């Protein structure tokens, strides 16, 4: 029998224990082990019941995701689940930790389920571009009804055991050692003469309006197909006999397994975990992180302070005047009130964070004991250097000095102190207590334990941390500047900003680039254009029509007018008619005859610009791995998760095709579309970005 599943006889009950750390994923060896254990129990004279438990921190976290995309190996999970359910013995699942995906499906094929109060269950397959494929879509609605099954499966959310029990998924919730609790329950069931209770034999759920539900779920998925397909699988559970419904579920599951979306989402799952796992940080001890200084209490500084407070750190925030200090405290209070309202913290905790853990001061001396200080002041090198000079003077030895700059040279900032080895960039995204991304910008002289401390802080704040090198804009903003320019060029050549936004939202972006500019404030781009103007290459095409709008004081959402017009109380905006007039005037001035763009060409050019710049960022070592770029775009820039990130998207398209498109665009604008040397190299060698990820992991 497989060493992944242990068998032990306890009186007339067989205990079957899954032991496949860290999370008991259902690898082939586990499936075979479970199968053999059921055979053994049934052949073991006197055994009347089986209790299935998991060793370690989970019952079962689901199918083994590392096996996906490889040829399936027997025994297949749906067949195993049916085999467990069909056993003549009474089967009890005793669940602790998480029971997810195939793990819950195994539990649902048992005849009774008992769970620890703290445990969680769920069918998160949609987050991997799949649907439950071992009976989850057929058994759950038989227990909960169709509506609840749809909500649970299409959201993929984890349910706490008491809620799952209320829904009918779990029979009993009881605290204790999972094996002891399971055994006692099995004994009790045997003594009471309880019968086997196969879920597949329960009557099907009542039907609902399937087409309306399908359409609603499809729309909510913004291009993601698996949740909508899950609706069709649940529909089958109400319309077909169990075995036929199971076949339908299997067909949909296998179809989804072949999709690009499945590839993209599984890439995202593993990359999310690999991204902060840097070989150079292995064994490096981070510095202390108990008390944090924050310089500047604007939206960014207040967000960073809030995140640190919520993570249990003490925060000293520095502002320059009474008014600014009061405003900063108010912003933090507003953020914490939001956390209180959402039930993330209690009233007592809220009060302690605001009144005890937070100190707002106008005196840099208050920073003398902090472990790490993050500067979040105005983006101006002279201002930053002044702040770092003051920090250098007051902060204790070993204190990490971090800048939240989004594009300035961290090497130059570091050089302005006497301790450049303690200086690092920590680039948060606004609002900093909400956005998941943190770019950890490692400067030339940053000490390795300071880098480790940056990652440790990010982890404590629940962020996805990505290592970045120093350049204008680091990973994310540098790439953004280029694909944003590609969008600008398309406007000059004839596509409207509104068509571009629509095409990219259809591709799966949370927002189009022009709506994003309105949200960020058009003054930001305007200032950047002015800053870059003196160094601009003569062949660089930069649209200036939007500067006319800025000159009139229209900066997007905050002024009510930008690419779109925003009315108070209404979500989103309507296209601003002035924009096309301004574009037309610029086209006439430049002698451009506008042409039509298909949505497909818009997406292609936008994506090619993104991939090409990302390949340059990689080639220069600003990002170490393609997956680092993918995670930056996914967690900081609203990139659709189901594509896995731009590098994964490029691999899926085929790098040869991406390069060919870039080269064809270069015939119109050779300066902008200079192919990245790394991209050319990969194409010449027949390799992919994913190959680079794998080489780095070795």
CA separation for the pair 578, 522 (Å, rounded): 15
287/463 with CB nearer ligand 3H9? 463
Catalytic residue among 105, 249, 439, 613: 105
List, as one string, the DSSP characters of 505-517: HHHT-SS-HHHHH
CA separation for the pair 110, 41 (Å, rounded): 14
Q: Which of 64, 375, 439, 690 is the binder for ligand 3H9 (CB under 6 A)?
A: 64
Contact status, residue 92 vs residue 186, Cβ threshold 8 Å: yes
Looking at residues 328 to 357 of the shown chain, list those that interact with ligand 3H9 (rule: CB under 6 A).
Answer: none
> Comparing C-alpha atoms, which of 169, 155, 144 is closest to residue 238?
144
Angle between helices 210-220 and 226-239 (to 10 degrees): 160
128/370 with CB nearer ligand 3H9? 128
Catalytic residue among 55, 85, 125, 439: 125
Looking at residues 12 to 41 of the shown chain, list those that interact with ligand 3H9 (rule: CB under 6 A).
Answer: 22-23, 25
User: Minimum distance between the CB of residue 23 and ligand 3H9, rounded to whole angstroms?
Assistant: 5
Q: x/- binding map, residues 187-226, to ligand 3H9, per CB under 6 A?
A: ----------------------------------------
Per the annotation, the verdict on 125 as an active-site residue is yes
User: Minimum distance between the CB of residue 22 and ligand 3H9, rounded to whole angstroms?
Assistant: 5
CA separation for the pair 647, 612 (Å, rounded): 10
Contact status, residue 296 vs residue 402, Cβ threshold 8 Å: no
CA separation for the pair 32, 26 (Å, rounded): 9
- The pair phi, psi for residue 74, each rounded to 5°, is -75, 155
List, as one string, the DSSP characters of 272-327: HHHTT--GGGTTPPPPP-SEEEEE--SHHHHHHHHHHHHTT-EEEEE-SSHHHHHH
Size of the chain, expressed as the number of residues it contains = 698
User: Minimum distance between the CB of residue 66 and ligand 3H9, rounded to whole angstroms?
Assistant: 5
105/493 with CB nearer ligand 3H9? 105
User: Minimum distance between the CB of residue 352 and ligand 3H9, rounded to whole angstroms?
Assistant: 27
Q: Which of 15, 41, 52, 63 is the binder for ligand 3H9 (CB under 6 A)?
A: 63
The two tokens of residue 312 are: 């249990």
Question: Stretches 60-68, 327-335, 368-376, 578-586: which one binds ligand 3H9 (CB under 6 A)?
Answer: 60-68
Using the rule CB under 6 A, is 60 a contact of ligand 3H9?
no
Question: Stretches 122-130, 222-230, 451-459, 576-584: which one binds ligand 3H9 (CB under 6 A)?
Answer: 122-130
Give the CA radius of gyration of the chain. Answer: 28
Looking at residues 564 to 603 of the shown chain, list those that interact with ligand 3H9 (rule: CB under 6 A).
Answer: none
* 512 class by beta-carbon count within 10 Å (0-12 exposed, 13-18 middle, 19+ buried): buried
User: Minimum distance between the CB of residue 618 and ligand 3H9, rounded to whole angstroms?
Assistant: 22
Start-to-end CA span in the chain (Å):
32
Q: x/- binding map, residues 82-111, to ligand 3H9, per CB under 6 A?
A: ----------------x-xxx--x------
Kindly state the number of chain residues that form the binding site for ligand 3H9, as judged by CB under 6 A.
Answer: 23
CA angle 480, 486, 487 (to 5 degrees): 90
Q: x/- binding map, residues 124-153, to ligand 3H9, per CB under 6 A?
A: xx--x---xxx-x-----------------
Per the annotation, the verdict on 247 as an active-site residue is no
List, as one string, the DSSP characters of 77-108: HHHHHHHHHT-SSEEEEEE-SEEETHHHHHHH
Q: Which of 33, 54, 62, 646 is the binder for ligand 3H9 (CB under 6 A)?
A: 62
On the question of a cis peptide bond just before residue 165, with omega within 30 degrees of 0, the verdict is: no
Q: Which of 66, 552, 598, 664 is the binder for ligand 3H9 (CB under 6 A)?
A: 66
User: Minimum distance between the CB of residue 76 and ligand 3H9, rounded to whole angstroms?
Assistant: 7
Contact status, residue 242 vs residue 108, Cβ threshold 8 Å: no
User: Minimum distance between the CB of residue 537 and ligand 3H9, rounded to whole angstroms?
Assistant: 43
Q: Which of 34, 47, 61, 678 is the binder for ligand 3H9 (CB under 6 A)?
A: 61
The two tokens of residue 452 are: 């480790």
58/647 with CB nearer ligand 3H9? 58
User: Minimum distance between the CB of residue 123 and ligand 3H9, rounded to whole angstroms?
Assistant: 7
Question: Stretches 57-65, 190-198, 535-543, 586-594: which one binds ligand 3H9 (CB under 6 A)?
Answer: 57-65
HSE-up of 382 (CA within 13 Å, CB side)? 0
User: Minimum distance between the CB of residue 516 and ligand 3H9, rounded to whole angstroms?
Assistant: 30
CA separation for the pair 214, 203 (Å, rounded): 23
CA separation for the pair 444, 150 (Å, rounded): 52
Strands 90-95, 112-115: pairing is parallel
User: Minimum distance between the CB of residue 535 and ligand 3H9, rounded to whole angstroms?
Assistant: 43
Contact status, residue 106 vs residue 26, Cβ threshold 8 Å: yes
Residues at the site binding ligand 3H9, with contacts judged by CB under 6 A: 22-23, 25, 61-66, 77, 98, 100-102, 105, 124-125, 128, 132-134, 136, 273
Catalytic residues: 105, 125
């Amino acid at each position: 029998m497989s060493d992944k599943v242990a068998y032990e006889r306890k009186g007339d009950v067989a205990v079957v224990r899954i032991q496949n750390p860290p999370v008991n994923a259902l690898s082939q060896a586990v499936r075979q082990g479970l199968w053999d254990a059921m055979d053994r129990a049934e052949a073991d004279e006197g055994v009347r019941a089986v209790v299935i438990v998991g060793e370690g921190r989970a019952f079962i976290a689901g199918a083994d995701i590392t096996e996906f995309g490889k040829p399936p190996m027997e025994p297949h999970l749906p067949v195993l689940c049916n085999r467990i359910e069909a056993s003549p013995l009474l089967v009890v699942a005793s669940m602790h930790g998480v029971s997810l995906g195939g793990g819950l499906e195994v539990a649902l094929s048992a005849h009774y389920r008992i769970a620890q109060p703290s445990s969680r269950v769920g069918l998160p397959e949609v987050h991997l571009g799949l649907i439950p494929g071992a009976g989850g879509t057929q058994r759950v609605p038989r227990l909960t009804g169709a509506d609840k099954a749809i909500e649970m499966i299409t959201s993929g959310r984890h349910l706490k055991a008491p809620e799952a029990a209320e829904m009918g998924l779990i029979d009993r919730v009881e605290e204790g050692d999972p094996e002891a609790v399971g055994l006692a329950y099995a004994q009790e069931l045997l003594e009471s003469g309880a019968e086997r209770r196969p879920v597949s034999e329960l009557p099907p759920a009542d039907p609902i309006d399937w087409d309306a539900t399908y359409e609603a779920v499809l729309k909510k998925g913004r291009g993601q197909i698996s949740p909508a397909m899950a609706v069709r699988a649940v529909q089958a559970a109400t319309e077909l006999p169990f075995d036929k419904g199971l076949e339908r579920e299997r067909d949909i599951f296998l179809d989804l397994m072949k999709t690009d979306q499945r590839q993209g989402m599984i890439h995202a799952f593993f990359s999310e975990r690999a991204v902060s796992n840097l070989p150079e940080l292995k064994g490096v001890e981070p510095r202390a992180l108990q008390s944090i200084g924050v310089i500047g209490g604007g939206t960014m500084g207040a967000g960073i302070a809030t995140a640190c407070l919520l993570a249990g750190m003490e925060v000293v925030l520095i502002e320059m005047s009474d008014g600014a200090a009061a405003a900063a405290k108010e912003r933090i209070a507003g953020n914490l009130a939001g956390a209180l309202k959402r039930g993330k913290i209690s009233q007592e905790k809220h009060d302690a964070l605001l009144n005890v853990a937070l100190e707002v001061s106008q005196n840099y001396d208050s920073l003398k004991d902090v472990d790490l200080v993050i500067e979040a002041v105005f983006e101006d090198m002279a201002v930053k250097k002044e702040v770092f000079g003051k920090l250098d003077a007051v902060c204790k030895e070993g204190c990490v000095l971090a800048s939240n700059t989004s594009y300035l040279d961290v090497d130059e900032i570091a050089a302005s102190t006497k301790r450049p080895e303690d200086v690092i960039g920590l680039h948060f995204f606004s609002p900093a207590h909400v956005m998941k991304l943190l770019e950890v910008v490692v400067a030339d002289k940053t000490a390795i334990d300071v880098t480790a401390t940056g990652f440790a802080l990010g982890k404590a704040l629940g962020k996805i941390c990505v290592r970045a090198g120093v350049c204008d804009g680091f990973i994310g903003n540098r790439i953004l500047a280029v694909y944003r320019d590609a969008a600008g060029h398309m406007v000059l050549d004839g596509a409207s900003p509104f068509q571009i936004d629509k095409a990219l939202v259809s591709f799966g972006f949370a927002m189009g680039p022009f709506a994003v500019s309105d949200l960020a404030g058009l003054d930001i781009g305007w200032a950047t254009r002015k800053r870059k103007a003196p160094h601009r290459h003569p062949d660089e095409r930069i649209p200036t029509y939007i500067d006319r709008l800025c000159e009139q004081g229209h900066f997007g959402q905050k002024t009510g007018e930008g690419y779109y017009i925003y009315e108070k109380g209404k979500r989103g905006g309507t296209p601003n008619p002035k924009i096309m007039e301004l574009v037309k005037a610029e086209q006439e001035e430049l002698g451009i005859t506008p042409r039509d763009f298909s949505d497909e060409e818009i997406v292609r050019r936008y994506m090619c610009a993104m991939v090409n710049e990302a390949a340059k960022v990689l080639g220069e070592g600003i990002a170490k791995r393609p997956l680092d770029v993918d995670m930056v775009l996914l967690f900081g820039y609203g990139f659709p998760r189901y594509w896995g990130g731009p590098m994964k998207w490029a691999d899926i398209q085929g790098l040869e095709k991406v390069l060919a498109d870039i080269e064809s665009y270069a015939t119109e604008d050779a300066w902008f579309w200079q192919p990245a040397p790394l991209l050319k190299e990969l194409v010449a060698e027949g390799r992919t970005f994913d190959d680079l990820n794998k080489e780095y992991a070795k």
